[in-house]
Amino acid sequence: MENREKVKDALAKCAVGLSASEVTEEFAVENGELKLIKKKVTRREIPPDLKAVKMLLDADVLSSATDEELAEEREKLIKMLKEDNCD
């Protein structure tokens, strides 16, 4: 799978939301060997991301856009990202 498709797939997952698991394990040395003493699995639900939805919907429109329209959209997205980083 090429990188562009990987990015689109990842964006689609963000657009619909996903769940992620994190495993934390603690070990101790007993009789010269490592032994698992504690294991914790945390599951998080990540809600849908509306910006990802917008980007996916805009991607269909942008595929037929002119170079000038693409440049305008690029500037608009850069401005949006800068505004989000300032919050």
Digit-coded pLDDT (tens) for 2-42? 877 888 888 888 888 999 999 999 999 999 999 999 999 99
pLDDT at 60: 67
65: pLDDT strictly greater than 70? no
53: pLDDT strictly greater than 60? yes
pLDDT at 58: 77
Please state, for a pLDDT cut of 70, what percent of the chain lies above it: 89
**Sole residue written with tokens 């032994």:** 35
Q: Which residues contact 38 (CB under 8 A, 6 or more apart)?
A: 25, 26
49: pLDDT strictly greater than 60? yes
pLDDT at 23: 96
Q: Which residues contact 15 (CB under 8 A, 6 or more apart)?
A: 48, 49, 52, 53, 55, 56
